[in-house]
A and B are shown apart, each in its own frame.
Chain A
C-alpha cells in the first residue's frame, strides 16, 4: 500500500447520535417502493402495469433515453400503486411484498471467467446497473462509454456516516466478487480507497485485483470525487465510474448466487434517534418500518427525517422509502422556533467553523444541530472560506460565479467535470451568505450536460 494521501482541508461536523455497532433487523415492510426521482435526470418508462405480480429482479421500468438501463423490483410481490407528482411525473412505484421473496434467476457465474460485455450484460439485466455512477455529471454510468478507471471508496467520512467496515463484515467474499466484476468493465484500473486510520477490515485491506490507496483527513476525504481528484483527475472527455460498497456487494451477490438480492444494512443515526444502530433491511423499505419506534418526541419539537447524511441527504417522511444510494437515515430536530438575538448570543450549543462561536474551545463536544437556516440569502461577501473545506485544486467561488453567469468556457477551465454537488456540501454548510451551493453546482453540470449531448 502506498503512502497515505493527506487531506488537510475539510471539516468534521461533530454531531450527536452516531450509530452503535449493533446489528438489528427491521421487520419486513408491507410495501416497498422504487423511486425514479432517486436518479438525477432520469425519465422512466414503465414496463409493468398496476396489479401485475413481479419477482425480485423483475423489470419495472427503464430509462427513456438509454433503453439498456432497466430498474428491477427489490422484492417479489404485486405492483400495487404508481404515485405521480406534478406534470404526472412518476415519483414512486409501490410493490406490496409477498411473505417470502421469489427471485428471478440470472445464473451464477465467476466474473473473471466472463468477458467484459458478458459482465456488463448481466449487471444491466439484473437491474443493478444504476448502482454504477459516473463522473462527470454524477449520474448513472452510460454503459456504452467505457471508463478510464473505476473508483470505490471504502469509507464514508460524512457526519454520522455508516461505518463501512462494520457493514462489510461477513460479506467480504461478495465484495471481492463485485470488485472482480468491475475489473472486467474497464481497460484501466479499479481504485479502492481506504482510510489509513480507520479501515481495518480484511475485505478492504486485502482486496485483490485492484489498486489500493489510502487517505487520511477530515470529511470530505471519503467522498469519491475528492479521491478521484487526487488519484486520476477527470478532464474534458474523460469518464470514470464509481460504485458504493453496499451496491458492490449486491453486484457480488448477483455473480455468486445469480439473483438480485437488495438486502442492505442501514445506519439509523442522529440526535433524535433513540437507539442509533444498524438495521438489516431490503432496499426500498419504508422509513416508518425502521425509524418510527426510535424517534425522540418532545413537546414543541418536530423531527426532520433525512435519508442519507445531513449534508447531502434528502428530506423524507415516514411513508417514503430509503433512497437508492443511501446507507443511513438521520434524525435531527427541526429548527423552526425563533431565537431572540440568536445572531449575537454566545450560542454555546451551536457548532460553527467560525471562531466567533465558542464551539472551537470545546473540541470534545458533540452537537444537537437543528435545521434552522439562520439568515436570508445574501450575495457573496466573505472570501477564502469555501477554500478551507474543499480539498481540491479548484477555486470554488470562481467556479460558482462562472456557473451563475452561465460561462461554459470558464466552467470547463475551472474544473466543472471533476465536481459533484456532494463535494461542495461543506461549502454550502459553512457559507455565511446561505447560498444554495449544491443546487448551483448541479445547475452548472446540467448546463454542460445539455450543451454537449
Chain B
C-alpha cells in the first residue's frame, strides 16, 4: 500500500504546474483522491473536520441503489423469458439481464464522467462526486430496450445542459438523471412509450407467447383494458417497467440505507408517499372511472413512484433546502404524480414530470419559508424589546 502511494507521488510532478500533463491535473487528482485521502490539513477555522465528505456521501447512495439494481437485472431476464414462455434457471435470467443492463451502465458512466472530467480540467476545479450517483440513476430509470447511443446522448445532455451550464454539481436546478429521461421521453417518444419495457429480442426458433402484453400497470390502468398484476407482484416487482423501478421492496431496502445513515431526507420521502396517498384518496371520492377508483395505496407501489420518492425527490441539490420546505415539496410531488397519472391521458407516468416540476418550484418554496423565518424573527425582536422596556 505504501508502495502504491509512493508510485502516485512519483508520477505526480508530471501533472503539476509545469509538468508534461499539466492540463490533466484534475483528472489525476480525481484518481489520486479516489485511491487515498490526501494528507491535507486544516489551515484556518476549525482545526478538526468531520470525517464525512462528498465521496462517502455519494458512495452510500450508490450502496442504497444496489438492491433495485440487482433486482432490476434479474427482472429484465425474468420478463424476457416469461414473454417467450420459457422456463429457465435463475442464473440464466440474471445472465440475460446482466448482458442487457451492464452496457447501459457502462455507457452512462463513460459518457458522463468523460464530460465531467473535461469540464473539471477546463475550469480547473476538482471533479465533483455527484455524477457517480447520477450515472447509476440514469440506467435505472430507463427501459432496458433503450439503444446505447440514446443513453449516451441523454447522459451528455443531462450533464452539459442540466448541470455544467449552471456551474456544475451543487448549482443545478433540475435533477440530472431525470432530465436525461425527460430528454429521451420528449426527443424520442417512439422509443420511450408503448411496448418497450421488456426485451423481446428473439433468437432463432424462439417466439413470443400468445396474447403477450408488455404493458406496464400504469398503461393498463390508463387504457382501461388488460389485466392488472396483483398487489403482490407490484410490491415485489415481478412486473415490466424501467430497469430499477419495479420492486418496491428493493427500493425500501435502499431507503433503509439512506435513512439509517441519515443521507437521504426522511422528510421528503415520507411526505411524497403521504402526498400520493392523499391524492389517491381524494380521487377515490370523485371517482368516475376505474383508474380514479383504484385503491390509493396501489399508486405507491405502481410504476416509478417509490423509486422517485426515495432516490430522485431526495436529491439535496434540486430539492427544497429548508426543513419546512421539504415537507411541502415532497407532498406536492406525491399529489402531482397521482394527478398526472390519473387525469392526464398522454403521460401515464407522472413521477418524472412531477419531480422536475417541483424542482423548478423548490426555490420558490424556499423563498417563502425564508420570508416566514424573517417575519418570525422580527416579531420576536419586537416582543423581547417590549418586555425589556417594561
Partners in one complex: yes
Does A429 interact with chain B (Cβ within 8 Å)?
yes
In the assembled complex, how far is the CB of residue A194 from the closest CB belonging to chain B, in whole angstroms? 21
In the complex the two chains form, is B4's CB within 8 Å of A340's CB?
A: yes
In the complex the two chains form, is B53's CB within 8 Å of A432's CB?
A: yes
In the complex the two chains form, is B46's CB within 8 Å of A312's CB?
A: yes
In the complex the two chains form, is B49's CB within 8 Å of A374's CB?
A: yes
Please report the total number of A residues contacting B with Cβ < 8 Å.
74
In the complex the two chains form, is A335's CB within 8 Å of B50's CB?
A: no
Which residue of A188, A233, A336, A380 is within 8 Å of B380 (Cβ)? A233
| A370 contacts across to B, CB distance below 8 A | 41, 48
Instruction: Give the docked Cα–Cα distance between A332 and B42 (Å).
Output: 12
Instruction: Give the docked Cα–Cα distance between A58 and B43 (Å).
Output: 35
Which residue of B44, B57, B59, B265 is within 8 Å of A432 (Cβ)? B57
In the assembled complex, how far is the CB of residue B53 from the closest CB belonging to chain A, in whole angstroms? 4
| A108 contacts across to B, CB distance below 8 A | none
On chain B, which size bracket covers the interface? 35 or more
Top-7 shortest CB links A-B: A379-B170, A342-B37, A375-B53, A350-B51, A343-B55, A336-B39, A356-B261
Given A375-B33, A378-B170: 7 more A-B contacts, CB < 8 Å: A315-B47, A371-B42, A373-B42, A374-B51, A381-B317, A384-B323, A431-B49
Number of interchain pairs (Cβ within 8 Å) = 206
Does B168 interact with chain A (Cβ within 8 Å)?
yes
Which residue of B316, B370, B377, B388 is within 8 Å of A398 (Cβ)? B370
Q: Which residue of A lies closest to B56 (CB)?
A: A343
Instruction: Give the docked Cα–Cα distance between A48 and B145 (Å).
Output: 84
Instruction: Give the docked Cα–Cα distance between A148 and B387 (Å).
Output: 13
Interface digits, A298-338 against B, CB 8 Å rule (1 contact, 0 not)? Answer: 00000010100011110100000000000000101011111
In the complex the two chains form, is A393's CB within 8 Å of B376's CB?
A: yes
Q: Which residues of B contact A (CB under 8 A)?
A: 1, 4-5, 29, 33, 35-57, 59-60, 126, 128-130, 167-171, 260-263, 265, 316-317, 319, 321-323, 326, 366, 370, 373-374, 376-377, 380-381, 384-385, 388
Q: Which residue of A lies closest to B5 (CB)?
A: A338
In the complex the two chains form, is B39's CB within 8 Å of A335's CB?
A: yes
6 of the cross-chain contacts (CB-CB < 8 Å) are A341-B36, A354-B50, A373-B40, A376-B29, A383-B316, A432-B56
In the complex the two chains form, is A356's CB within 8 Å of B52's CB?
A: yes
Instruction: Give the docked Cα–Cα distance between A304 and B38 (Å).
Output: 18
| B169 contacts across to A, CB distance below 8 A | 378-379, 381
In the complex the two chains form, is B52's CB within 8 Å of A393's CB?
A: no
Q: Which residue of B lies closest to A438 (CB)?
A: B45
In the complex the two chains form, is B54's CB within 8 Å of A381's CB?
A: yes
Given A336-B41, A372-B37, residue A380 in contact with residue B46 (CB < 8 A): no
